[in-house]
Amino acid sequence: MTYETLTVDIDSDGIALVTIDLPGQSMNVWNEGLMADFPKFVDELIANDDIKGAVITSGKKSGFLAGADLNMLGSSKAETMKEAFEQAWGLNAILRKMETGGNSAKDLLKGKAHAKPVACAINGLALGGGLELALACHYRVCADHPKLQLGLPEVQVGLLPGGGGTQRLPRLAGLQAAGMAIMMGQPMNPQAALAQKIVDEVAPAEDVVAKAKEWVKANPKASAPWDKKGWKFPGGAGSMDPRAVPLYLGSSAMALKQSKGNYEAVKAILSCLYEGSMLPIDTALKVESKYFTKLLSGPQAKNMIRTLFVNKQAADKGAMRPEGVPPTELKTVGVLGAGLMGSGITHVTAKGGMNVIVLDRNMEEAQKAIDYSQKIVDKGVKRGKMTQEKADAFMARITPTDNYDDLKNVDLIIEAVFERPDVKADVIKKTEAVIGKDVVFASNTSTLPITGLAKNSERPDQFIGMHFFSPVEKMPLLEIIPGAETGDKALAVALDYNAKIRKTPIVVKDVRGFYTNRVFPPYANEATMMVAEGVNPALIENAAISMGMPIGPLAIVDETTLQLGYDIMTSTKEEMGDAYVPSGTEDLMELMVKKIDRRGRRFGGGFYEYADDGSKKLWPGLKEHFPLAEDQPTVEEVKQRLMYIQLIATAQCFDEGVVSDPQSADLGAIFGWGFAPWTGGPMSHIDTIGVDNFVRTADMLAQKYGERFKPPMSFREKADAGESFYKAA
Amino acid sequence: MTEAYIYDAVRSPRGKGRSDGSLHEITALDLASQVLASVNDRNELDGHEVEDIAYGCVSPVGEQGAVISRMAALKAGYADTTSAIQVNRFCGSGLEAVNIAAGKVKSGEADLAVGGGVESMSRIPMGSDGLGGMADPTLVFQEYFVPQGISADLIATKYGYSRDDVDAYAVESQKRAGKSWEEKRFEKSILPIKDVIGETVLDHDELMRPETDMQSLGSLNPAFQMMGEQMPGFNDVAILKHPDVEKMNHVHHAGNSSGIVDGAAAVLIGNEEAGTKYGLKPRARIVSMASIGSEPTIMLTGPEFAAQKALKRAGMEASDIDVWELNEAFAAVVLRFMEAMNVDHSDINVNGGAIAMGHPLGATGAMILGTVLDELERSNKQTALSTLCIGGGMGIATIIERVN
């Protein structure tokens, strides 16, 4: 028998070494090819008397098997749920057949039949369907590499491990450990997996195949533990088990606490664990496949896979990079300014393996970038995440200076000085005087238009905007803003740099606030306006959190400070004059900032008051200034307002071309301001709601709350045409 | 419709629901059976007169399983012809059983029936039945279930009851219970429970601490704070359903919540003819009965709605009720009920309640109906309403009126 995606070598002991090696792919995954080959191999294993047992391994240096090909999952042609189930059942059926050798559970249990032994030699990362394949083998030997990842991360894209993961993992590791691993989706290393009995043996990488063969040779008759008589669920299971019942109760509560009930996958995983743990394995696997089918046929998994996996990966790999520009080698980056942003940029640049020359007006200021990184690096060493040696090398890459001449050999400049055009103009001139003629100058700004700043540059085609988010080392998004004269090369360099610091980049148009700062303020305003209307502030915050925002909008306003909001409001008013459209929050801002000194957390308090222990609670005085209205809206009404204000602002940006494609809008929303990830982003969410339904609801809200909810014309047209923004999957 | 009369009410004393409790050695079957037998003894019945027995039991597994009422009736010497049913409406089970018995009489299905309940919490701990669907994620995610203690703290948070408020209520409950025992107010209904050799093992409610004061309660830590705020974090679940709450105020603890105890109770109910036939004197008439469902996360606000429904069905106003009895599951439950129904503290739970004497889940409803009947007779009043809050968000109420 020959296969496309794997090779089978039978040794003198009759042990078949199955080496999975997908042609033309850097990584093994369950794709259509492997899905076609593997059942054939299982049949050969069962039927061929020359084969006494098998060892499964990978031919890839990159790992064992990284899961299912998400593009394949997304392209299911099933028309009915039943058909979709038959497809979902495919992988479970093959793996179970391998595990039982095609025998019935009853015969295995009675000892009347056995499967041929199959061991797994895990020689690299095994995630999702990769780990599930391993779990379906009778024995697992894993290479002893501390960074090797074993895990079931499906939940992160809105799915559950549908190849037996929700059933075999708890049957090996117990409900509690398995539940945590599957619901969080976090990988573990081989030693942790060994401790939880998820792998049976850990060995040096070069020995895993030999060890696996040894086991196969010594165990000619195999069956899974759960197919053996007397097997008991480790740690207990079942609705009458006093150890398991608190686990079922507790895990649901914990999952609700974390997911707010927004993630279908989390719920489905809990049900697989709950229901599956009370069933014999064959029925349990079917139940798992049914829940998997439900997830796969719903919008959430499609949205999450598309945005959080497919589009994110494409963006991270530089999908927006102009063609034909050769890659730039970035060895040394000059960072101008060692304030909060400059220090953060310095840190991520050094972390990306580049040297940094960080400049500020004197050495004392420049040194702040060193202190900033030192603190983070020291913490890493203390927690055992970094060796002292690596920490020292890290710090050695950063050179503080107050002398522009030191910048003359840099490959890229990132400017992060004070957000004032005159200050920026000064450093642009001083820097361009020393750097190479072809060095790209990137300006980090969250508000100033790039085209305007580029006017200070001798080489506006090499001038570009980069909007980093604070804290830089934690925030995953980078907004890249080409100005009117920015050339392809500058954009290419910006994306090459981004690839090194491993952020998710979106390329946006040069308008005030760019993309994220166009959408977020209206959202914060809406929450503020509700306070002014007398809506219970706790209801506002809880509504936002329960719809999947990471923290309440009033809490964020406190962090960014009401003072900043007030300053922006004042300058916008001045700038726009008669054209200024009041946001409705002017009186509240005036009161909070000017009259009662509630300017935000940094100033001692705003909407919240802050205790010394770091805890916070809504400022009781708020109710005196903004008495609660007698009729409070329902939480659904508050959620709708807070959701739609973001959807509308995104729609406007899309309409105006601030973001050129729905993918960027979705990525920017989720990774920029923490827009509810379960939606796949605002554009995905509009598609899910249905564009016509979205327009109708927005009109209704506009009538109720004001013109700001009016959807843009192009969305009405889209609705009328019955189209969606993404092509139907 | 036929009237249903209460001819008798009897209960066991309540033993501490722990392995050192006085009733721990008494099987649940024996406990139920001693109480059932006393119904015949006290009323000079042979055992064939009672046609049906409805018995509440909240953890009907193990020795409390398999329709304990039928087993206990047989052991107690009822005739083979006496049928029995075991019912579970969580904490409302005992009163539900009484209402079922009354319903059978009213509908003409039976002339004489018993309603009651049993729970040996020391022998079959709470939750022994595995909690059923309340542990099923599909339902938890739909309804945001939290444990009752969290619900009680949610009531306190939403309606603004401070730790002092709930503690003060608990102190008063202990005081009233102590006084009632001192004045032998429960004497008419208490059946001392005997062991295998016929010795009395318990003749009083042994959980009480009449000396309880604000200071002694003040030293207790809130019982539900850890599970609410940290593992697994039930507060966030409760707030998902009640987003008007910013932060939960944890005020309940063992001292202001109902005690875990063993106990059983029975109420003898029949029509007028049965009374005449067997020479029984009616003590009260069942005026109306009601069961309701209410929001399940806050869970314990049902009594208010059950009481309103029972009053409405009787064509009565709250002001027509002389004495109120609401099971003291948690202090905040009673505080909320008093506020919602505009009931004065001096008219409710006048002889103390479950905070002082304990709450044998399946039996309590029948017990408090007997208690309030005794109180009507003692104080020479006419009408009473008994009610309980119930797990899963329910409420039950029964109005009775003395027959002179």
CA distance A370 to A368: 5
Q: Buried b vs exposed e over A259-278: b needs ≥16 C-beta within 10 Å?
A: bbbbbbbbbbbbbbbbbbbb
- Note whether B154 contacts A: Cβ–Cβ < 8 A: no
- Residue A647: phi and psi, rounded to 5, are -65, -40
Q: Among this protein's residues, is B57 annotated catalytic?
A: no
What digits encode the pLDDT tens for the residues A188-232?
A: 999 999 999 999 999 999 999 999 999 999 999 999 999 999 999
Q: Cβ–Cβ of A541/B240 closer than 8 Å?
A: no
What's the longest Cα–Cα distance across chain B?
62
CA pair distance A393, B248, nearest whole angstrom: 49
Q: What count of other Cβ atoms lies within 10 Å of the Cβ of residue B273? A: 11
- Note the pLDDT of residue A278: 96
The yes-or-no verdict on residue A344 having pLDDT over 90 is: yes
- B139 to chain A, any CB pair closer than 8 A? The answer is no
Question: Which of A250, A536, A542 lies closest to B232 in CB terms?
Answer: A250
Pairwise CA distance, residues A534 & A131, whole Å: 53
Nearest by Cα to A20 from A217, A289, A214, A209: A209
Please list, in sequence order, all residues whose beta carbon lies within 8 angstroms of the beta carbon of residue B3, skipping any fewer than 6 positions away. B106, B271, B272, B285, B286
Q: Which residues contact B163 (CB under 8 A, 6 or more apart)?
A: B222, B249, B251
Interface of B with A in 234-253 (CB under 8 A): 234, 236-237, 239-240, 243-247
Contacts of A645 (CB under 8 A, 6+ apart): A522, A523, A525, A526, A708, A709
Look at residue A242 and give its three-state secondary structure.
coil
Q: How many residues does chain A have?
A: 729
C-alpha span between B181 and B352 (Å, rounded): 10
Number of neighbouring beta carbons within 10 Å of residue A375: 12
Of B141, B246, B247, the CB nearest to A256: B141
CB pair distance less than 8 Å for B131 and A249? yes
- Tell me if A528 sits within 8 A of A554, measured CB to CB: yes
Give the list of residues 6+ apart from residue B40 with CB closer than 8 angstroms, or none: B46, B47, B50, B76, B77, B78
Pairing mode of beta strands A126-127, A118-122: unpaired
Q: Which tokens hold the place of A370? A: 């060193």
Residue A382's pLDDT band, with cuts at 50, 70 and 90, is very high
Q: What is the DSSP string of A390-408?
A: HHHHHHHTEEEES-GGGGT
Catalytic-labelled residue, pool B24, B57, B91, B242: B91
Q: Which residue of A has its CA nearest to B241?
A: A635
**Domain annotation for chain A: domains and CATH numbers:** 6-297 (3.90.226.10), 332-502 (3.40.50.720), 517-721 (1.10.1040.50)
Q: Are the C-beta atoms of A31 and A72 separated by less than 8 Å?
A: yes
> At a CB cut-off of 8 Å and minimum separation 6, what does B172 contact?
B345
Q: Which residue of B has its CA nearest to A274?
A: B136
The reply to whether residue A543 touches residue B141, judged by beta carbons under 8 angstroms, is no
* B132 in contact with chain A, both atoms CB, cutoff 8 A: yes
From chain B, pick out residues whose CB is under 8 angstroms from the CB of A253: 140, 146, 232-234, 237
Asked whether the beta carbons of B104 and B110 are under 8 A apart, the reply is: yes
Q: What is the pLDDT of residues B45-71, one digit of tens each?
A: 999 999 999 999 999 999 999 999 999
Cβ contacts (< 8 Å) between A249 and chain B: which residues? Answer: 131, 134-135, 140, 232
> Any residues with CB less than 8 A from the CB of A147 and at least 6 apart, and which?
A189
Closest CA to A537 of A598, A483, A491: A598
The mean pLDDT of A404-427, rounded to a whole number, is: 94
- At B3 the pLDDT is 98
Residue B359 annotated to the active site: yes
Instruction: Report the mean per-residue pLDDT for chain A.
Output: 95
Q: Where are the alpha helices (DSSP H) in A260-339?
A: 264-276, 281-297, 299-304, 312-316
* Residue whose token pair is 């037996």: A164
Q: Do B135 and A536 touch (CB under 8 A)?
A: no
Alpha-carbon gap, residue B193 to B189, rounded angstroms = 12
Give every residue of chain B whose pLDDT is below 70, as ranges.
none
* DSSP-assigned beta bridge partners for residue A414: A335, A442
What is the spatial distance between Cα A300 and Cα A659, in angstroms, rounded to a whole number?
23
Single-letter amino acid, residue B354: A
Residues of A with CB under 8 A from a CB of B: 238-242, 245, 248-257, 260-261, 267, 270-271, 274, 536-539, 541-543, 546, 617-618, 632, 635, 638
- Compute the half-sphere exposure of residue A29: CA atoms within 13 Å on the CB side of its CA: 14
Q: Is B252 a known active-site residue?
A: no
Say if CB B258 and CB B58 are below 8 A apart.
no
From the candidates A183, A241, A247, A256, which should be mutated to test the interface with B, based on the most B CB atoms within 10 A?
A256
pLDDT tens per residue, range A569-595: 888 888 888 888 888 899 999 999 999
CA gap B345, A49 in Å, rounded: 85
Least confident of A77-91, A197-211, A712-726: A77-91
Q: How do residues A168-183 score in pLDDT, each as one tens digit? A: 999 999 999 999 999 9
| Shortest CA gap B63–chain A (Å) | 15
pLDDT at A573: 87
**Average pLDDT estimate for A305-311:** 94
Alpha helices in A612-655 (DSSP H): 622-625, 635-655
> Residue A112 is encoded by which pair of tokens?
């009347």
Whether A729 has a pLDDT exceeding 80, the answer reads: no
How confident is the model at residue B131, as a pLDDT? Answer: 85
For testing the chain A interface, which of B154, B226, B237 should be mutated: the one with the most A CBs within 10 Å? B237
